[in-house]
């Protein structure tokens, strides 16, 4: 994997009076309006992604740039007023302390006129970029329309960097293109822990399906000094070892791959920790029925790791110099099934306080970290989701490669 920390930086750019097209990931969760006072505009359920964009946007404004922001919201199949960026524009205006004017579209004559009349330090938010189907097709003509709006392109949307879309990849070939501060921070944090981690380096991988994490496990396998596997995906590995897994989720077609991974770790003498006990329930809708050891009764489902497993993880990570966490240990959305996941969050927090580098990536593990109240006590929390996962698999992200094609080719 190439080091991406040498990308051209926003800090190297002459900005005053320049129209700067900034790709941000403002795909925030929306909630239905309360209806009080006849309100019909959706409410923002979590503004974390908007706040993450502020350092780049403030830097641009402070240096006299004319800031044009592009983002998607949801998965529209054409213009959809329910997925307008209007609530994002309102919240962004509050946080920036200056109006982020919502454009009527993302391209076209009206948008050209609006952006052409901007003053230094002003902000325009283009309407949902995915209202145009050409965006996800990376249509060259659509990319040229976007490029026509600006003098400089800044990609600050790490969360969409794994998509070769017009606003994430196509336009970067048509304008001088640099990385924003969020993008740079993500690449540096993830690149550092993968390529130059403090030792011992441990990874914790969880989630529902082995099939979605095989690439990550294999890529990390050659880099880590130890690996913890939890969540429902652990039951495929436990069944590969001959243990009973009850009604727990097992991907039968992945059992041979799980055996290969177990054998590889054993051959190289690298510890691979699987759950030693599990919290079980008769169904995901039922209360927890108790804690069992390695073998799960036929009428039960494993829903969380048990106390013995938590203790083993804490002991293994007690001397870790770097820890990477991707994926929960159980069905953490249920409070009675969340103890293992929240315990891992606390372990990372403790190790950070003791000097370890801790990086958390993936939507569910980030949500669990927020739920635990420990998000401020880890080294880096990735906003990436799918992009984080692909980066951890060792893939080149199209949105990053477009900013630094020479380095990408050396990967």
Residue 116's contacts (CB-CB under 8 Å, 6 or more residues apart) are none
For residue 392, give the nearest of 360, 365, 368 by alpha carbon.
360
Beta strand segments in 30-184, E: 30-31, 43-44, 66-70, 100-102, 123-125, 152-155, 177-179
Region for residue 394 given its phi and psi (left: phi exceeds 0; alpha: psi -120 to 50; beta: otherwise):
left
For residue 55, give the 3-state DSSP assignment.
helix
Active site residues: 49, 209, 363, 386
Q: Is the peptide bond before 347 cis (omega within 30 degrees of 0)?
A: no
93 vs 77: CA distance, rounded Å = 27
Give the tokens for residue 348: 């990372």
Question: Distances from the Cα of 202 to the Cαs of 257, 299, 335, 339, 344, in angstroms?
Answer: 21, 34, 27, 21, 13
Q: Where are the alpha helices (DSSP H) in 107-229?
A: 109-116, 140-147, 181-195, 214-221
Angle between helices 48-62 and 181-195 in degrees, nearest 10: 120
Residue whose entry in the numeric block shows the structure tokens 């941000």: 24
Is the torsion defined by CA of 226, 207, 52, 3 positive or negative? positive
109 vs 40: CA distance, rounded Å = 29
273 vs 313: CA distance, rounded Å = 8
């Amino acid at each position: 994997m190439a080091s991406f920390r040498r990308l051209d930086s926003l800090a190297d750019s002459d900005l005053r009076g320049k129209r700067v097209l900034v790709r941000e990931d403002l795909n925030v969760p929306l909630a239905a309006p309360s209806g009080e006072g006849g309100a019909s505009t959706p409410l923002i359920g979590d503004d974390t992604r908007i706040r993450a964009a502020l350092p780049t946007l403030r830097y641009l404004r402070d240096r006299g740039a004319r800031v044009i922001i592009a983002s998607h919201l949801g998965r529209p199949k054409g213009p959809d007023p329910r997925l307008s960026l209007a609530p994002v524009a309102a919240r962004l205006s509050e946080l920036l302390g200056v109006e982020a004017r919502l454009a009527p579209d993302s391209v076209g004559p009206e948008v050209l006129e609006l952006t052409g009349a901007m003053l230094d330090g002003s902000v325009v938010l283009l309407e949902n970029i995915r209202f145009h189907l050409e965006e996800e097709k990376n249509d060259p003509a659509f990319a040229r329309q976007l490029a026509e709006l600006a003098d400089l392109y800044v990609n600050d949307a790490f969360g969409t960097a794994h998509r070769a879309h017009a606003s994430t990849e196509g336009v970067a070939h048509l304008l001088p293109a640099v990385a924003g501060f969020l993008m740079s921070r993500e690449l540096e944090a993830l690149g550092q822990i993968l390529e130059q981690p403090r030792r011992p380096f441990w990874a914790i991988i969880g989630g529902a399906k082995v099939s979605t994490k095989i690439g990550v496990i294999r890529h990390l396998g050659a880099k880590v000094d130890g690996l913890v596997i939890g969540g429902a995906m652990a039951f495929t590995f436990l069944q590969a070892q001959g243990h009973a897994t009850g009604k727990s989720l097992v991907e039968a077609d992945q059992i041979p791959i799980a055996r290969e991974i177990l054998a590889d770790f054993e051959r190289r003498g690298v510890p691979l920790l699987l759950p030693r006990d599990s919290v079980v329930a008769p169904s995901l809708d039922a209360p927890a029925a108790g804690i069992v050891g390695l073998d799960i009764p036929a009428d039960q489902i494993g829903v969380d790791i048990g106390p013995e497993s938590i203790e083993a993880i804490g002991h293994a990570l007690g001397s870790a110099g770097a820890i990477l966490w991707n994926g929960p240990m159980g069905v953490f959305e249920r409070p009675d099934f969340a103890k293992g996941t929240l315990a891992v969050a606390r372990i990372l927090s403790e190790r950070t306080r003791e000097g370890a580098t801790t990086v958390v990536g993936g939507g569910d593990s980030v949500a669990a970290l927020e739920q635990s109240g420990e998000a401020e006590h880890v080294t880096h929390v990735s906003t990436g989701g799918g992009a984080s996962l692909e980066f951890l698999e060792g893939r080149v992200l199209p949105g990053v490669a477009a900013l630094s094609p020479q380095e990408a080719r050396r990967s």
